[in-house]
Structure 1
């Protein structure tokens, strides 16, 4: 596994040099690094290699600035539509740097991906229809936390993925060698006797992608382009084995989702040369021939790439769950339409008495028709009709409220409550950054109560949880009703609720407070179906010693089911993050 910061920095410089030679052909680079001098040094190295335009895409950029639109002053002056180029068209032949790429909006992701695929920008707005050249490369600056990643739809189209989070400033300043010199440190020396055409590059890279668990077909294609670029810089017509090794290390290794299979005993036996005969019947030169027999090109490339795999890949595999999982940016809830407050999200035709008028968009809609609307000899003015009015579309991000609904009954109540306490504290520690809130509903005895209203206060949560009692029956239906009522209140206030139910699913107290497993079980299933009808996202964590007791309830609520008979605070918190991200 690669764990040398100096090697990571050398690979980053090498990737910058290769990318600068063909930005659009190689797609771009995903650079995971926080804002600081190390990232600035790498960006300076990219500028030294690339002489074309480098444009920075501001966070929250509007569509008319990103893809272009109607040039309002020029249109009014000329009396006919005049196209104004956007940032992507201005970056034709250059590079676009995207800060905070892990928080890109879906519309911007789609436009960037389409431009990367076609090299053209489709401009269809404000009465315009144009195709503008937009051949550029992307540098996505990933500044998110561990579970925040850039959109996979973009990352899959970019050749390189660089992680400089473990590189210090002194290491970056010392490793200042030219990219050509760093190549010797960035790969294993090729075996003697290997020349051009020794192996089919396509077959080798596809086999290596399969061994590393890479399902995308773009990965080997990008690796092949990188290998061809390396060969071109070295003055060769076709990539050699050393070029394939370096391309696979830079492109395929960061995408690996599993460890490559180890050689079998039969393969090792075939690679082990037989001992020379003792009778001297064979010449010394013939006896050395099996030892010098070369391995297959695929084995050589795979062995060289194995050392460049991400250092935390094995740990993720041992921890279980999908490795290198791509997640959405943040947990701030869904973007909800808002008539008066929020961030601009375009415009729409409408009555200005029922929304906020977008003056510039209104003038753009009216500008192309001025020559037809003005009468001869009329004073110079702009004629606006009711069909030209445009209203602002505003969206505001709603915060997520995680509602813990905890079974506080029975002999295992203390263990379950301890798990809930730990999970609440872990999630609250992250809520300051992600603007989340936490609530807690406990059910025991004959009813349920909201012991912790939605809050971000870790001190308050600890104080309430410390005094939470346990024991008694299991009024599961009452607990679900209380959680649903709280969730609907959060939704009405503009938030995004998520219900997390920790129970073994064995209800024995009905809503009326009477005992009886049959009636209590039917009421619990009915409460679960009500959650489904109300569209409340729910996670059911089965904490029973024999998991499966809560599966029927999860099916009734169409909730995600997670059996954790030996759960702790960390596993509960990880399961909740997997659902709410």
Structure 2
């Protein structure tokens, strides 16, 4: 099946069994393919409810209707958004779904109230995806990014069917689906359940009362492909499979008539996998260093994306949320009016005060501290220049900052303060010179000071250190290896206390144990790159810090 056919087939199955299958995640950017799929969703005979990924409890849940309560003088509650007839829940920008929103939608899907979720994932990178707690509750996921206008066909999703409850399944089908899920590295027990329900629904959709091999192939292709974490080795399984005994041949021949071979199902999964999935799945087993991401979320009370008001300790700069305060005070008005009879209007007390909160996404600054000492300075600086230019191009799209520090001789020098300017960065990089001793402690100290200053300005700092050996210049400028190593470790302890994310790239011919020890003190990352180039450095930094 093509991507468009898979999407339409999944939509048909959802229409047949919305409670059992939950919904579908459609990964597609805004374009003709997504618009055509939304039009197909509009043909479903259900009401449509459009949601926003950042909706809060005040928008979703049952709450006090403030206007009606004040007008009537009695408590009036507004219904929850989900307290309605079964509907199609449309969730655009699903990759931006907040934790509360994803948890609330998961509760709705678990309640078996008949709602169907259509999550429109507009993410570009692989890490921009629907939260797992929500994606795990949706049976299907399709991608429409590779679909052209010639692939889009008008489909009729309303077909004559038989009830799903009247469809029978082979006795061994549940076990077959569970074993296949384990072979594909699928750990969630929901996957096998979804596949079984999808096979029964597809049989009912085609007017059959018994599940056939074709139904199972379609179910596996729609449910297992996007969940697969590994590809089993069929040759190893054939060699390890025991030969049947002679007295079991007759029984085996009878039972295989009703069994669906797993090899056929595995081939169906492999055929539906994207062309580059083998490389991605082979890399998924390798350990990945986790960084802080592209920016931290900070809670403030002045600017940013609004959050639900909370009953927090009153601060001098905190602003009162009047609507939330009235909602907290209104349920107590009947009791409070009995104590103060002649009081006009609502009685608000200190315990009712709710203060406004906002979420701010901090920008990130990548601070490069480059060792410009020694005879290999020219090659190493060239690598750093190329890597910084590549990373700056990526950072510009994310609105991040880049800074450059050079240490050589007896001191460190700030060549480039945090900036987003590509032109200014190239000018400073071209003027970068090398030679002299290795004041590693001075480079760490300068990077540490810049990280603290950036943090005070609301930026999230990450330090990347490029060097090929241990320091030989102490902080006071004396050529003493022992003292220089002690100074570097002392500065590293200050780094670790502040929790600054760090990455040390060892570009020497052989890994330097002292650099690895400094990385351990920093609670940071250490990567040996004996044959570093601009592409390798850029790729390593992006992987280690999850840029």
TM-score range, shorter chain: 0.7 to 0.9
Q: CA deviation at 1:468?
A: 1.0
Q: State the TM-score, normalizing by the size of structure 1.
A: 0.82
Report the CA distance shift for 1:232/1:357 in structure 2 as closer, same or farther (over 3 A). Answer: same
Supply the distance in 1 between the matched residues of 2:158 and 2:335 (Cα, whole angstroms).
63
Task: Trace 1:14-413 onto structure 2 (pairs within 5 A).
Answer: 14-48=9-43, 50-77=44-71, 79-90=73-84, 93-119=86-112, 135-147=114-126, 148-172=128-152, 175-178=153-156, 200-264=172-236, 297-317=261-281, 320=283, 322=285, 332-349=294-311, 351=314, 354-374=317-337, 378=342, 381-413=345-377
Supply the distance in 1 between the matched residues of 2:518 and 2:368 (Cα, whole angstroms).
16
Unaligned runs of 5+ in 1: 1-5, 120-133, 182-194, 272-288
Between Structure 1 and Structure 2, how many residues are aligned?
A: 524
Query: Which among 527, 531, 543 is matched to residue 562 of structure 1?
Result: 527
Aligned to 2:246: none
Supply the distance in 2 between the matched residues of 1:106 and 1:298 (Cα, whole angstroms).
37
Report the CA distance shift for 1:488/1:63 in structure 2 as closer, same or farther (over 3 A). Answer: same
What SS does structure 1 have at the residue aligned with 2:2? Answer: helix
Report the CA distance shift for 1:109/1:422 in structure 2 as closer, same or farther (over 3 A). Answer: farther
Report the CA distance shift for 1:261/1:544 in structure 2 as closer, same or farther (over 3 A). Answer: same
Q: CA deviation at 1:499?
A: 1.3
Query: Which among 531, 537, 543 is matched to residue 572 of structure 1?
Result: 537
What SS does structure 2 have at the residue aligned with 1:205? Answer: helix
Supply the distance in 2 between the matched residues of 1:169 and 1:150 (Cα, whole angstroms).
26
Report the CA distance shift for 1:387/1:165 in structure 2 as closer, same or farther (over 3 A). Answer: same
Q: State the TM-score, normalizing by the size of structure 2.
A: 0.87
Q: CA deviation at 1:11?
A: 0.8
**Is 2:362–2:458's contact at 8 Å kept on the other side of the alignment?**
yes
**Is 1:75–1:368's contact at 8 Å kept on the other side of the alignment?**
no
What SS does structure 1 have at the residue aligned with 2:124? Answer: coil
Report the CA distance shift for 1:180/1:95 in structure 2 as closer, same or farther (over 3 A). Answer: closer
- RMSD across aligned C-alpha pairs, in angstroms? 3.2
Q: CA deviation at 1:353?
A: 5.2
Supply the distance in 1 between the matched residues of 2:341 and 2:496 (Cα, whole angstroms).
66
Supply the distance in 2 between the matched residues of 1:299 and 1:143 (Cα, whole angstroms).
34
Supply the distance in 1 between the matched residues of 2:387 and 2:11 (Cα, whole angstroms).
42
Supply the distance in 2 between the matched residues of 1:32 and 1:383 (Cα, whole angstroms).
50
Report the CA distance shift for 1:326/1:306 in structure 2 as closer, same or farther (over 3 A). Answer: farther
Report the CA distance shift for 1:374/1:558 in structure 2 as closer, same or farther (over 3 A). Answer: same
**Is 1:196–1:241's contact at 8 Å kept on the other side of the alignment?**
no
Q: CA deviation at 1:63?
A: 2.5
What SS does structure 2 have at the residue aligned with 1:547? Answer: coil
Supply the distance in 2 between the matched residues of 1:99 and 1:300 (Cα, whole angstroms).
36
Supply the distance in 2 between the matched residues of 1:24 and 1:462 (Cα, whole angstroms).
57
**Is 2:184–2:231's contact at 8 Å kept on the other side of the alignment?**
yes
Supply the distance in 1 between the matched residues of 2:523 and 2:346 (Cα, whole angstroms).
56
What SS does structure 1 have at the residue aligned with 2:182? Answer: helix
Report the CA distance shift for 1:477/1:268 in structure 2 as closer, same or farther (over 3 A). Answer: closer
Supply the distance in 2 between the matched residues of 1:76 and 1:253 (Cα, whole angstroms).
54
What SS does structure 2 have at the residue aligned with 1:89? Answer: coil
Supply the distance in 2 between the matched residues of 1:321 and 1:565 (Cα, whole angstroms).
24
Report the CA distance shift for 1:62/1:326 in structure 2 as closer, same or farther (over 3 A). Answer: farther
Deviation sequence 1:155-188 (CA, Å, 0-9, x none):
222111111111112322xx3355699xxxxxxx
